[in-house]
Structure 1
Amino acid sequence: MKYIVRRTPFDGRLSEVPAAQEGKGWPETRRTLTELSTIGLFLLALLLALHSAASLVVPMVAAIIVGSVVAHVGDRGQRIGIPPVIAGLALTAILGVGMFLLIEAIAEPLSTLVERLPLVLPRLIAAFGDLLAPFTTLQARLTGGSTSAEGGIPSMEKMLGSLDFGLVAGFIGGLTPAFGEFLIFLATLVFYVAGRARLRRQSILAFVGREERLAAIRIFNATEASLTHYFGTTSVIYACVGLATGLIALTAGLPAPVLWGLFAFALSFIPFLGPAVVSLAIASGGILLDYGLLSALWPVGAFMVVHLVCENAVIPAVLGRRFEINPFLVFVSIIFGTWMWGAIGAVLAVPLLLIGRTIRSEFKVESRVSLPS
C-alpha cells in the first residue's frame, strides 16, 4: 500500500496517510456543511413564518398549552365517574368565562395606563428633578457644559424625553388580545380538549418500535404533568400576590384596588417584565393623583418586596429543583418571545422553555422510569 506524507495543520507534525484515502475528507466535509446550511435556512424560514403568522400561531400555541393542562386535570375526573372529555370540556367552559372576565376587568386599567403614559413625564420630572440635580451638576462639569437655574430638571426632561413610550404602550396594549384571536384561542382549546385522546393515540402509533412508542408516552405524560404542576402552583401563589397588591393599593388610597390585584395577578406570569410594568403602573397612579414622591413610591417598594419573596423563596420551596431554569435562559426566551409574538410571546416563553426542558430530561437515560412489559 502506498502512503503519502502530509503535515498536520494544527501541530505541524508529519504523518503518513494511505494514498487511497487522500482527498476523501473534503467531499464529506462539504456534504456536512451543505446539510447544516440547509437546516439553518429552514430554521430561519420557519422563524420568519411564525413571526409573520403571529395572529394565528400565538392563540393556537397558547390553546394547546392550556388545553394540555385542562385535559390532564380532566383525566382525573375518571376517579369520580366523570368521562375525561366531559370533564375537560366543562373545565374549558369555566376557564373561557374566567379569562373573558379577567380580560374585561384589566382592559380598562391597561388602556387608561397607555393613555396616561405621556402625562406621567412632566410629573416625573418634577418629582425626580431635585434628586438628580447632583448628578446633573457632575455631568456638566465632566463634559464642560453648564448647569441651569433649574438644576437637574432640563437634563431629566431631556433624558425622559428620549425614551420611546410607544414601545412601552405597545407592550402593555398587546397584553389584551384582539377579539378574533380570543375566538381562535377558544375554538382551538375546545377542539384540542375534545380530540386530545385520539390525537395522542395517533401520534404514539406513528412510531414503529416499542421503545420509541414508550418514549413518546413518557414525553406526553411528563409534559402534561409538568405544565399542570407549574401552572397550578404558580396560579395559587400569584393569586396571593394579587391579593397583597390589592391590599397595598387599598392602603395607599389608589382607586379600584380589586383591579390592581387582578392586574398584578395577570402580569406576574411574565417574569421580569410583568413586575416592572406593575411597578410602573403603581408609581404612575400615585404620581398622577398628586400623592407626593414618598406616597407614590412606597406602594411600589411594598409590591416589589412581596413579589421578590414569592419568586425567590416561596416558588422555589414549593416547586423544588424540578422546575428550576437558568434565569439567563428565561430572560433570553422572554426577549425572543416578545420579538416573535409580542406581549403574549413573553407569557408563553416560560411554558415553552419548561416543555423543552421536560423533553430533554426524558431523553436522559438516567431519568427514565422503567415501565412494565
Structure 2
Amino acid sequence: MTDPAPSPAPAPDAAGVPPPVRPSPPALTVGVVGLFILALLYTVYFGRDVLLPICLALLLSLLLRPVVRGLYRCGLPDWLGAAVVVVGVCTAGGVAFTTLSIPAAAWVERMPRLVNDLQVKLSDIRESLDRARKASEQIESIAGPSNPQEVVIRGPSLARQVLSHTEAVIANVVIMLVLLYFFLARGRISLETVIGTMRSVDDRVHYALLAATVQQNIAAYLATITIINICLGLATAGAMWAVGLPNPALWGTLAGVLNYIPFIGPGVVTVILALAGALTFDTPAQMLVPPVVFVALTTLEGNVLTPLIVGRRLALNPIAVFVSILFWGWMWGVPGALLAVPILAVFKIVCDAHGPLKAVGAVLGQAPPVPLTGGSAAAPAAGSRR
C-alpha cells in the first residue's frame, strides 16, 4: 500500500514570490476569540460607571426576589411589592448612614489630637525613626547635589475631590435603585417572555428549569453569606463594646461589610482596629485586645461557621476567589472587590447548571447539591405566575 502523495507547494507567481499562506481555521478562531476577550475587558474597565450599578442591582434583585414573591403571596402585585422592597432598602440604608456617619465624623474630627497622643505613646519608636532619617539625610547630602531643585505639581483640592466622588456615588446609588425596582417588578415577566419565544417545547422547559435552578441557588448563597456577615458584624460590635472601644456599631458595620472581601477585608479591619486601639488605650496590652479579639472571631467564622453552612451548598476554590478579588478590584476598585465573590459564585452556579460549562464550574469549586431535575421548578419561568 503506497503512501498518499504530499500536497503540492503553492506555485510562485511570475516574479518568483510564493503567495501568502492563509491561516488555518483553528488559528483564525483563536485570534478572533483573543480579540473578543480584549474588547470585552476594555469595555468592562471603561464602562464601570454604567456596569457597576447594573451588577449591584442585579445581585440585590436576586437576593430580594424571595421577599417580593412572599409579598405577592400575601396579595401584593409585583410592581407594588418591588416598590415596598426598594423603599425598605432606602430606609434601612438612610438610617444606617445617619447613625454611622456621626461617629465616623467624630473620629475624623478627633484625628489630629489622637495622632498627637499616639506620637506621645510611641515616642521611643519615633526617636529611633528620627535618628535613622537624619542619618539618611546626611548620606544624601554627601552623595547628592548641594542645592537640589524640587518641582511641585498641585492637583485638585481635597474638597473638590470629595465633592466629585460624592456626586458620582449619589448618581450610581440612584441608578442602582431604579434598576433594582425594574428588576424586581419586571424581571420575571421579561424572562418568561424570552423563554416563551422559543419554538421547541423541550427548549422552553430546559431553559425555564435552568433559570429557576440558577435563581434559587444564587438567592440561597447570597442570603446565607449576608446572614453570616451580619452575625459577624453583631459579634464584632458586641466584642468591641465589651473591651471598651468607642463606637462599637461603627466597627461592627465595617467588619460585616468588608467581610464580603475574603482574605483582604478581615485584614483591613484588623489594621483599623489596631489603630483605633492604639488611639484609645494607654498600655500596649490594651491596644492589642481589639485586633486580637477580631482575629479570633473572623478565624472562627472563616474556618468553622462558613464551611459548615456554605460548604453544603457551594464551596469556591480559594485560588479562584483570590484571583477574582484581584481582577475585579483592578477593574472597579473597592466596589469591584466587594462584588468579586458574589460574581464568581453566580458564574459558577451558571456553569454548574449548564452542561457544556460544567468543567469550568468544577475548576471554580465544589458543585452545589441541588440537581437540575424535576418539573415543578420550571413553573415560574414557563408561563405560570408562581
Query: Do Structure 1 and Structure 2 share a fold, with TM-score over 0.5?
Result: yes
With over 3 angstroms needed to count, the CA separation of the structure-2 counterparts of 1:287 and 1:64, relative to structure 1, is same
2:76 corresponds in structure 1 to 82
2:139 corresponds in structure 1 to none
Alignment counterpart, residue 256 of structure 1, candidates 247, 255, 258:
247
1:289 corresponds in structure 2 to 280
Give the Cα–Cα distance (whole angstroms) in 2 for the partners of residues 262 and 176 of structure 1.
Answer: 23
Aligned partners of 2:237 and 2:249 also within 8 Å: yes
1:352 corresponds in structure 2 to 343
Question: Which one-letter code corresponds to 2:49 in the other structure?
Answer: S
Give the Cα–Cα distance (whole angstroms) in 2 for the partners of residues 29 and 211 of structure 1.
Answer: 39
Question: Which one-letter code corresponds to 1:98 in the other structure?
Answer: A
2:324 corresponds in structure 1 to 333
2:3 corresponds in structure 1 to 3
1:303 aligns with 2:291: no
Give the Cα–Cα distance (whole angstroms) in 2 for the partners of residues 330 and 124 of structure 1.
Answer: 39
TM-score (norm 1): 0.74
SS in 2 for 1:178: helix
1:371 aligns with 2:362: no
Displacement of 1:268: 1.8
**1:287-325 alpha-carbon deviations (Å, 9 max, x no partner):** 122433221212111111111211221122223332110
> Equivalent residues in 2 for 1:1-373 (5 A)?
3-4=3-4, 19=6, 30-107=24-101, 123=118, 150=128, 154=132, 178-364=169-355, 367-371=371-375
TM-score (norm 2): 0.72
Give the Cα–Cα distance (whole angstroms) in 2 for the partners of residues 124 and 42 of structure 1.
Answer: 54
Give the Cα–Cα distance (whole angstroms) in 1 for the partners of residues 87 and 345 of structure 2.
Answer: 26
More deviation, 334-343/281-290: 281-290
2:362 corresponds in structure 1 to none
Aligned partners of 1:51 and 1:340 also within 8 Å: yes
Displacement of 1:72: 3.3
Q: Where does structure 1 lack aligned partners over 5 or more consecutive residues?
A: 5-17, 131-148, 159-169
Aligned partners of 1:67 and 1:192 also within 8 Å: yes
With over 3 angstroms needed to count, the CA separation of the structure-2 counterparts of 1:206 and 1:19, relative to structure 1, is farther
Aligned partners of 2:274 and 2:287 also within 8 Å: yes
Give the Cα–Cα distance (whole angstroms) in 1 for the partners of residues 131 and 355 of structure 2.
Answer: 59
Give the Cα–Cα distance (whole angstroms) in 2 for the partners of residues 249 and 192 of structure 1.
Answer: 38
Displacement of 1:89: 2.5
Aligned partners of 2:237 and 2:252 also within 8 Å: yes
Give the Cα–Cα distance (whole angstroms) in 2 for the partners of residues 238 and 40 of structure 1.
Answer: 38
Give the Cα–Cα distance (whole angstroms) in 1 for the partners of residues 6 and 167 of structure 2.
Answer: 68
Aligned partners of 1:113 and 1:281 also within 8 Å: no
Give the Cα–Cα distance (whole angstroms) in 1 for the partners of residues 46 and 227 of structure 2.
Answer: 35
Displacement of 1:175: 12
Displacement of 1:370: 4.1
With over 3 angstroms needed to count, the CA separation of the structure-2 counterparts of 1:188 and 1:290, relative to structure 1, is same
Give the Cα–Cα distance (whole angstroms) in 1 for the partners of residues 232 and 345 of structure 2.
Answer: 22
1:136 corresponds in structure 2 to none
Q: Where does structure 2 lack aligned partners over 5 or more consecutive residues?
A: 11-19, 137-160, 359-370, 379-386
Displacement of 1:222: 2.1
SS in 1 for 2:222: helix
Q: CA RMSD in A?
A: 3.8
Aligned partners of 2:210 and 2:372 also within 8 Å: no
Aligned partners of 1:335 and 1:346 also within 8 Å: yes
With over 3 angstroms needed to count, the CA separation of the structure-2 counterparts of 1:97 and 1:327, relative to structure 1, is same
Displacement of 1:330: 0.7
**1:118-175 alpha-carbon deviations (Å, 9 max, x no partner):** x869959975987xxxxxxxxxxxxxxxxxx9499849xx9xxxxxxxxxxx9xxx99
Displacement of 1:244: 1.6
